[in-house]
Amino acid sequence: MKNYDIERHVTGESQFVDDVITPEGMLHAYVFYSEKAHAEILNIDLSNAEKVKGVKAIFTSKDIPGENQIGGIIPDEVLLAESKVEYIGQPVAIVIAEDQLTAKEAASKIKVKYKKLPVITNPREAFKAGQMIAPQRTFNLGDPDNSWNSCKYIVEGTVESGGQEHLYLETQGAFAYPVEGGGIKIVSSTQSPTAVQRVTARILNLPMHKVEVDVLRLGGGFGGKEDQATPWAAMAGLASFKLNKPVKLILPRQEDMIMTGKRHPYSSDFKIGINKEGKIICYEVTFYQNAGAAADLSTAILERTLFHCTNSYYIPNVKATAVSCKTNLPPNTAFRGFGGPQGMFVIESAIFKAAEKMGLDPSEIQKKNLLNEDDQFPYGQKTENCHSGITWKNAEEKYSINTIRDEVKKFNAENNIFKKGVSFMPICFGISFTNTSMNQASALVHVYTDGSISVSTAAVEMGQGINEKIRQVVSKVFSVNIDRVKTETTNTTRIANTSPTAASTGADLNGKATERACQHILRQLKEIAAEILNASSITHVEVIDEVVHCDGNKSNLKWEELIKRAHLKRFNLSSHAFYATPGVYFDQEKEKGNPFAYHVYGTAIIEATVDCLRGTYKIDSVKAIHDFGKSFNPLIDKGQAEGAIVQGLGWMTIEEVIYDENGKLLTDALSTYKVPDIHFTPDIQVDFLKNSDNLKGIFKSKAIGEPPFMYGIGGYFAIMNALKAFRPDADLPISAPFTPEKVLMNLYSKVEEKQPA
Ligand code: MTE
Ligand code: LUZ
Ligand code: MOS
């Protein structure tokens, strides 16, 4: 079993946006962006830029025929700046030239006169100044205000978590070309073809049917192309439409890093109350989300932070407040976990700090408070087939936690400079778009007369292996060899009104739509088979391994012959089917509902070794019992888990997004922004939780894309525990990422560091 794309990737045949054979006469775009984080635009002088040889045109907001508006949830974001700019990297003009370098050179000759305005980069400052993206929200459970009395231990604190660069290997990009009748066709590297179509239509003042969007595959998305692939496609569309020529826009890496938003940094306050038995009685938390200069997906991300603020614990009294703060940074956006990791990091920090006060290992509190069957989340939904306890117990046993602890103890007793730490990280992640209406997908399946099969869905392949899974669905429903099945590009003319491939729902939503489409065709095929084999009804016939069986006996009728006969008899060999997740809803007024189809559980044990002289460290191992449901592609699923774990560790440890006080990104290249490589990567062991059937997922599986990301949070606390072995009494601040520099400071800080505001 292997991923469909593997051979093409390895031989270099796989095409990304910049590789696709393009129409003749392609022009190239470069985006001129704001150099100020907050300013009025007094004047834009294009004259010197226009004189550069090879420049064809320069477009500003004035050239937009439709509405200069790209906001998806809240209409608060322009495609091209008008009278003001709100972050460094905000697009101001698009330069079109014969090649990208010429366009870039011309862009450097554009002169803008700015009148500087005050810059805010910190979410708490923005909040104080009243700069909110939307009204704040609060989730309530039980009676938080009156339950502190029954707590023996009450601990308060502040938690910081940083941004994260998506670093998809393929940078943002698209090309567009005019088509007959005044329409436009766009090839885009987007997780959301429909968002590209809708926004481009709005920008160009066209009906959506005149904008066709095609997506072959992405060189990674990780959420960074859920909303933020749209502007580049719309810009290519705009230029192509105006010039009546094909136009390509590919962001160079540095521009991509400067201009696009990242994972949202959060600054949070918590208060946790625990009784003498170690049960968490009450939890109060306030999240300040650094949204950047526009809403983008921030409000949806904030909502998921609230949904996951108690992670895998049952807490009877909860008050969780979250506010999205507008700052002068690029609009932050979706990133694997979608606000969930930020929420979970705070409860884990609260438990860590409470354990410190109680003189316990955090795992004692974690374990005592795990969710049980029928426990209620702060948003009203109750657990069903809860696997919190079982994954924890299996992890303890399978990975011999007592042996690990003994070894760590021994090591720490024998070593003065190197110290080891171990942590547990349980996870619980809800599957479904929290915006109920987005939980829909469709599929279009054609069986050709030679027996080969083509399938189109709303799913976008970005490396997560969705195409292989869709092929498996087709192959399984028809019981034919998987080599007969081809997944087509994701295209808005074949599959309309798509939700983005996101929220880890790609396989469930599109797989189920595909399953239905295949079942429609199969029904027709069974009818013709029953006729040919003189069976009294279709219940007697079945296709097994490409051969029709009648009452369990193999017939002579094979797949290819069956298809030919069906066609001659004028049966429909194509089907379009639709799927919408049943039973999900959420009431934003009451902040209660049943937003998730199901939850994904798991427990990881993480070990780290810290060099307490230098502050450097190694994450030694991550071992996880993960609830995959009944995986129907264990290889892909394991790969997803491993990749997510490394990405989660990166967020918690070495990946540091730094903006200076003027809103300028200092970490805009791989020389300054460090990501995990193979040397960083620990030993990872992911084991499948046994006997986990999930009736709500495709073929009883569970979604895999995002949940394992959050095991990475355990990396932070494994390092913390190692520090505790070196400095048992220090009350260290919690501030991710835990870079080696920060670890070093924490090892030797004389006074307790003040939390960065
Ligand atoms: N894996 C790879 N290789 N590349 C990606 O861009 N994106 C992740 C995850 N795994 C991603 C990935 C994110 S953020 C999501 S939401 C899911 O894949 C989306 O795909 P799925 O819904 O098919 O799981
Ligand atoms: N995108 C979205 C997501 O629009 N809604 C979600 O709930 C979500 N969850 C995870 C990742 N992307
Ligand atoms: Mo993933 S953040 O849902 O694209």
Instruction: Report if residue 368 sits inside a domain.
Output: yes
Instruction: Report if residue 396 sits inside a domain.
Output: yes
Per-residue pLDDT at 432: 98
Q: Cα of 722 to ligand 1 centre, how many Å?
A: 32
Which ligand lies nearest the alpha carbon of 298? 2
For residue 385, is pLDDT > 60? yes
* Given the residues 98, 356, 706, 741, the one annotated as active site: 706
Helix (H) or strand (E) run with residue 491 in it:
strand 490-491
Is the domain of 59 the same as that of 104? yes
Paired residues of 96 in beta bridges:
29, 57
Any ligand 3 atom below 6 A from CB of 298? no
Is the domain of 255 the same as that of 273? no
Q: Using CA atoms in the order 259, 263, 264, 265, what is the torsion angle rounded to 10 degrees?
A: -100
Any ligand 2 atom below 6 A from CB of 505? no
Query: Per residue in 680-713, pLDDT tens?
Result: 999 999 999 999 999 999 999 999 999 999 999 9
Whole-prediction pTM = 0.97
Q: How confident is the model at residue 5 (pLDDT cuts 50, 70, 90)?
A: confident
For residue 753, is pLDDT > 90? no
Any ligand 3 atom below 6 A from CB of 160? no
Per-residue pLDDT at 512: 98
Query: Per residue in 170-188, pLDDT tens?
Result: 999 999 999 999 999 999 9
Q: Contact at 8 Å (CB) between 59 and 249?
A: no
Residues with CB under 6 A from ligand 1: 220-223, 336, 462-464, 466, 501-507, 640, 643, 703, 705-706
Is the domain of 217 the same as that of 247? yes
Is the domain of 625 the same as that of 738? yes
Any ligand 3 atom below 6 A from CB of 334? yes
Last residue of a domain, one of 533, 557, 580: 580
Query: Per residue in 91-128, pLDDT tens?
Result: 999 999 999 999 999 999 999 999 999 999 999 999 99
- The Cβ of residue 240 has, within 10 Å, a number of other Cβ atoms equal to 30
- DSSP 8-state symbol, 453: E
- Indicate the top mutation candidate among 464, 470, 631 to test ligand 1's pocket, ranked by most ligand atoms within 8 A of CB: 464
Per-residue pLDDT at 751: 55
Paired residues of 94 in beta bridges:
31, 59
Query: Per residue in 622-651, pLDDT tens?
Result: 999 999 999 999 999 999 999 999 999 999
* Domain limits for position 399: 266-433+590-748
Is the domain of 472 the same as that of 598? no
Q: Are strands 173-179 and 453-457 parallel, antiparallel or unpaired?
A: unpaired
Is the domain of 695 the same as that of 603? yes
Give me the helix-helix angle, 559-568 and 506-532, nearest 10°: 80
Q: What average pLDDT does the chain have?
A: 97
What does the DSSP assignment read for 583-594?
A: T-EEETTTTEEE
Paired residues of 267 in beta bridges:
160, 288
The tally of CA atoms less than 13 A away on the side-chain side of residue 176 is 33
Number of domains composing the chain? 3
Any ligand 3 atom below 6 A from CB of 455? no
Q: Cα of 505 to ligand 3 centre, how many Å?
A: 9
- Indicate the top mutation candidate among 164, 336, 438 to test ligand 3's pocket, ranked by most ligand atoms within 8 A of CB: 336
Per-residue pLDDT at 615: 98
Q: Which of 518, 431, 439 is nearest to 701 (CA)?
A: 431
For the question of residue 468 being annotated catalytic, the response is: no
Instruction: Report if residue 713 sits inside a domain.
Output: yes
Query: Per residue in 35-81, pLDDT tens?
Result: 999 999 999 999 999 999 999 999 999 999 999 999 999 999 999 99
Per-residue pLDDT at 754: 46
Instruction: Report if residue 156 sits inside a domain.
Output: no
Instruction: Report if residue 132 sits inside a domain.
Output: no
Q: How confident is the model at residue 757 (pLDDT cuts 50, 70, 90)?
A: very low
Average pLDDT (674-684) is 97
- Indicate the top mutation candidate among 462, 487, 600, 701 to test ligand 1's pocket, ranked by most ligand atoms within 8 A of CB: 462
Both tokens of 253, joined, read 């890496």
For residue 668, is pLDDT > 50? yes
